[in-house]
């Protein structure tokens, strides 16, 4: 069973921050797919939904970002699954605002959630749907930037990207990683809207 983990921080004050865009993708997927089962453990919340003909776990870690690895390890133990079945969705300062990219063998960079996960699992080869939040020049420190809310102008850019990221996750599950990477990584960002429509037509967004 595939497990989609949206990275973020717990607490109402973090809900709309740049660092919690992964949680927003999970919320979108919960709203768009039939929930079979939901649960809550000490370190995470989960929902099992149907994606196409498959059952998929949706997960929000309840640890703070820099301890995400502990939650992911517990998820794998409880689901009795291997790391190969994980898909992570998260913000990425290395990508321009609104860009989206699927990667499978890239290091964690400076993202504290990914650093925790790589340290806990002992591997770098994790499937990730990366959502760009970067700017050419940050107005504040990296930490303050990711923990602040999107501006109204940025929100107009990021809201549709949340839906695109959900479609990308579904493509990974239904089409396979290579085809999903070809669809979402090979075209200019402006054509990703067309790919989202194709996903819906093919049944991946039902």
Encode pLDDT of 161-182 as tens digits: 999 999 999 999 999 999 999 9
pTM for this one?
Answer: 0.89
> What pLDDT does 158 receive?
97
Q: Residue 79 and residue 73: Cα distance in Å, rounded?
A: 10
Whether residue 45 is contained in a domain is answered as yes
Q: What is the pLDDT of residue 203?
A: 45
Q: How many domains does the chain have?
A: 1
Structure tokens at 76: 């794998």
List own/partner pairs for 183-192 with CB under 8 A and 24 or more apart. 184/100, 184/101, 184/102, 185/101, 185/102, 189/98, 189/99, 189/100, 192/100, 192/164
Is residue 114, in this structure, part of any structural domain at all?
Answer: yes
pLDDT value for 64: 95
Residue 21 within a domain: yes
- Provide the domain limits for residue 161: 2-201
The Cα–Cα gap between 119 and 51 comes to 30
Neighbour tally for 124: CB within 10 Å: 13
Rounded alpha-carbon distances, angstroms, from residue 173 to 87, 146, 164, 199: 9, 29, 14, 12
Question: Which of these is catalytic: 2, 19, 90, 170?
Answer: 19
In a domain, 206, yes or no: no
**Secondary structure in 3-state letters for 28-73:** HHHHHCCEEEEEECCCEEEEEEEECCEEEEEEEECCCHHHHHHHHH
Whole-angstrom distance, CA of residue 182 vs CA of residue 16: 30
Q: Characterize the bridge pairing of strands 44-51 and 54-61.
A: antiparallel
111 is known as an active-site residue:
no
Evaluate whether residue 119 is within a structural domain. Answer: yes
The stretches in the chain having pLDDT less than 50 are 190-191, 198-206
Q: How far is CA 162 from CA 100, 118, 156, 185, in A?
A: 9, 24, 11, 16
CATH code, domain with 47? 3.40.50.1470
Could you tell me if residue 11 is inside a domain? yes
Any domain includes 24: yes
For residue 58, being part of any structural domain is answered with: yes
């Amino acid at each position: 069973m595939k497990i989609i983990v949206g990275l973020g921080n717990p607490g109402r004050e973090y809900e709309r921050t740049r660092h919690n865009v992964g949680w927003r993708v999970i919320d979108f997927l919960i709203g768009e797919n039939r929930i079979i089962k939901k649960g809550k453990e000490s370190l995470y919340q989960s929902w099992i939904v149907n994606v196409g003909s498959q059952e998929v776990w949706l997960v929000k870690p309840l640890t703070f970002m820099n301890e995400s690895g502990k939650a992911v390890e517990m998820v794998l133990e409880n689901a009795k699954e291997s790391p190969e079945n994980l898909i992570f969705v998260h913000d990425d300062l290395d990508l321009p605002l609104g860009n989206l990219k699927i990667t499978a063998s890239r290091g964690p960079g400076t993202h504290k959630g990914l650093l925790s996960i790589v340290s806990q699992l002992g591997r770098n080869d994790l499937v990730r749907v990366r959502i760009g939040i970067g700017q050419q020049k940050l107005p504040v420190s990296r930490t303050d930037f990711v923990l602040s809310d999107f501006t109204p102008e940025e929100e107009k850019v990021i809201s549709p990207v949340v839906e695109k990221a959900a479609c990308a996750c579904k493509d990974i599950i239904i089409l396979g990683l290579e085809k999903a990477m070809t669809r979402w990584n090979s075209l200019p960002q402006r054509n990703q809207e067309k790919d989202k429509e194709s996903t819906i037509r093919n049944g991946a967004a039902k």
